[in-house]
Copies of this chain bind each other. A is one copy, B any other.
Amino acid sequence: MDGDTLTIAGRQFTSRLIVGTGKYATHEQTLEAVQASGAEMVTVAVRRVNLDATASESLLHVLDPSAYVLLPNTAGCYSADEAVRYARLGREAGLSDWVKLEVLGDEATLLPDVAGLLEATEILVAEGFKVLAYTNEDLITALRLQDLGVAAVMPLASPIGSGLGLLSPLWIRLLKSRLEVPVIVDAGVGTASDACLTMEQGVDGILMNTALAEAERPVQMASAMRLAVQAGRLAYLAGRMPRREWGVPSSPATGMLD
């Protein structure tokens, strides 16, 4: 897999796995899981400073920004304006113009509002942001996002935090076959085989959080995911055998004894 690198907005990554930092028991567990995952980019959220907290250790003291690309998200935003506001604050906090753009349309499913997403994308791209856009499986929306200049299209595999895995390999294969920008599957992956199957569709990478944080042993699952993403990528590049509905011997049919 030497030289098989992922390039987003001109930046090169060796790992095709991006992980979130939410829902872990402790900062220490977060760091261990991130390290085990082999991820080079991690997502973070922008929230109010807790003024009541006795000076707690900041996430940035744990996740050295010089060691990891921090990708601020706009999680929890339900309108283009709100998402743009969070993106700007994230840029200031991270001194980077990369953003994982989420504009949600529904609290029960956390599905994206593609109209709001396109609106926010247009504004942020104009402000020089590198937009990684969380979207649904729709090819038409994905093509619009590409036309608007996103750095990556991030379709869901299934609802955020659902762990249902890749609901429609067809849609994801289709997106990948029609887009030039990187396709990073975001949300829904639940276990290693989901990640492996997803990468076998030819996509450029996967972003996950809950599958690690909510596993019984998050750090161990992070290692599993690191390997699964590599395995799926390699299998895609290696070219799988054809499927057949009958048996074919793996040992020679000739040279049998009388």
Oligomer: number of copies: 4
Distance from A11 Cβ to chain B, minimum over Cβ atoms (Å): 23
Q: List 5 A-B contacts (CB under 8 A).
A: A20-B251, A105-B140, A112-B140, A162-B248, A216-B238
CB of A221 within 8 Å of the partner chain: yes
Cβ A239 vs Cβ B227 within 8 A: no
Cβ B191 vs Cβ A200 within 8 A: yes
Q: Which of A125-133, A145-153, A206-214 contacts B (4 or more CB under 8 A)?
A: A206-214
CB-CB contacts of A102-142 with B at 8 A, as 1s and 0s? 00011011111111001000000000000000001111110
A167 and B170 in contact, given A213-B250, A234-B192 (Cβ under 8 angstroms): yes
A192 and B159 in contact, given A111-B139, A247-B111 (Cβ under 8 angstroms): no
Q: Please, which residues of chain B bring their CB within 8 A of the CB of A196?
A: 192-193, 196-197, 228, 231
Distance from A180 Cβ to chain B, minimum over Cβ atoms (Å): 15
Q: Please, which residues of chain B bring their CB within 8 A of the CB of A250?
A: 20, 22-23, 75, 160-161, 209-210, 213
Q: Given B168, B171, B191, B235, which contacts A192 in the complex, CB threshold below 8 Å?
A: B235
Q: Please, which residues of chain B bring their CB within 8 A of the CB of A217?
A: 237-239
Cβ B193 vs Cβ A200 within 8 A: yes
- State in angstroms the CA–CA spacing of A139 and B50 once bound together: 35
Cβ A161 vs Cβ B249 within 8 A: yes
Q: Given B20, B215, B234, B246, which contacts A238 in the complex, CB threshold below 8 Å?
A: B215
Q: Smallest CB-CB separation from A222: which chain B residue?
A: B238
Cβ B193 vs Cβ A214 within 8 A: no
CB-CB contacts of A214-258 with B at 8 A, as 1s and 0s? 111110110111011011101101111111111111111111110
- State in angstroms the CA–CA spacing of A195 and B231 once bound together: 10
Q: Smallest CB-CB separation from A220: which chain B residue?
A: B238
Q: Besides A109-B246, A162-B243, 20 other CB < 8 A contacts?
A: A48-B256, A137-B137, A159-B246, A162-B244, A163-B240, A163-B243, A164-B244, A168-B168, A170-B245, A193-B197, A193-B235, A196-B197, A210-B250, A216-B239, A220-B234, A220-B237, A221-B234, A221-B235, A224-B234, A225-B231
Q: Which 10 A-B pairs have CB atoms at the shortest separation, nearest pair first?
A: A216-B239, A161-B248, A47-B255, A110-B247, A105-B140, A75-B251, A192-B235, A224-B234, A227-B231, A221-B238
Q: Given B110, B173, B240, which contacts A211 in the complex, CB threshold below 8 Å?
A: B240
CB of A76 within 8 Å of the partner chain: yes
